[in-house]
Amino acid sequence: MNPTLTLENTAYTLAQIPAMDAVQIALAGRSNVGKSSLVNALAGRRKLAKVSSVPGKTRSINFYRAEPFGFYLVDLPGYGYARASHEERRAWGNLLQKYLAGNKQLKALALLIDSRLPPQKLDLDLASFARQCGLPILPVLTKADKCKQRERAARAAEWRDIVGIMPIVTSSEKKLGIPALWDALARAAGATAPAGDAAPAAAGAQGEEA
């Protein structure tokens, strides 16, 4: 049985976040890091999470149930979108920080990082905040097909030195690193990936683009 993702809840405020006993793994990154594309790659379908040409589209927290593991992959709003108003950026940042700091079921933060860019301040700030919250960080390099192998290897080494763990290198378009990412997410959630699940399928409705 291949892993599946199903969108079960969407929240725009802290009050709308559902109370749940299941383990959660947060998925966070800059507004143009390719978060929705990665969700779709994990799911094995194109339209589970809606991909938009406009960065910063997601303003919600989307809860995807990962089966057969039983944990939730929680897609957080993309941060750092320059065209958003100051008030919008403040509200999104406040929502993200309160969710990360106040959730006892949250077991790790999968931090998505653009393979093409040197470490960015907002990413470094989020990594630092996660450490303050006692959250393990799972670094994930995205868009690996957009740069040379030497470049992404150097980027992976940079982030290994920063967070103390080697990033998983991924490409949503080429499906690079997707099985390894599923395995890492399952281990972070305390689950065991089923043997032979190299090509995840998906079920469920559409989320919003990050």
The answer to whether position 194 is within a domain reads: no
The answer to whether position 118 is within a domain reads: yes
Residue-level pLDDT at 158: 97
Tens-place pLDDT, residues 133-168: 999 999 999 999 999 999 999 999 999 999 999 999
> The whole model's pTM is what?
0.85
Residue 193 has pLDDT above 80, yes or no: no
Tokens, residue 204:
């469920």
The answer to whether position 196 is within a domain reads: no
| Overall domain count for the chain | 1
Q: Cis peptide leading into 119, omega within 30 of 0?
A: no
Residue 207 has pLDDT above 60, yes or no: no
For residues 19 and 7, give the distance between their C-alpha atoms in angstroms, rounded to a whole number.
16
Confidence of residue 14 (pLDDT cuts 50, 70, 90): confident
Cα-Cα-Cα-Cα dihedral sign, residues 66, 170, 35, 93 = positive
Mean of the pLDDT values across residues 4-20? 89
The answer to whether position 197 is within a domain reads: no
Tens-place pLDDT, residues 79-125: 875 556 667 667 777 888 888 987 899 999 999 999 999 999 999 99
Higher pLDDT, 32 or 25: 25
Tens-place pLDDT, residues 46-67: 778 876 544 545 578 999 999 9
CATH number reported for the structural domain that contains residue 115 in this entry: 3.40.50.300
Residue-level pLDDT at 199: 42
Higher pLDDT, 191 or 157: 157
If residue 182 lies in a helix (H) or strand (E), which one and from where to where?
helix 178-188
The answer to whether position 182 is within a domain reads: yes
The answer to whether position 141 is within a domain reads: yes
Mean of the pLDDT values across residues 67-73? 95
pLDDT over 70 for what percent of the chain?
A: 82
Mean of the pLDDT values across residues 18-37? 92
Contacts of 154 (CB under 8 A, 6+ apart): none
The answer to whether position 109 is within a domain reads: yes
For residues 31 and 122, give the distance between their C-alpha atoms in angstroms, rounded to a whole number.
11
The answer to whether position 153 is within a domain reads: yes
Q: What angle do CA 157, 173, 117 make, to 5 degrees?
A: 35
Q: Domain of 74?
A: 4-188
In degrees and rounded to multiples of 5, residue 129 shows phi and psi of -65, -40
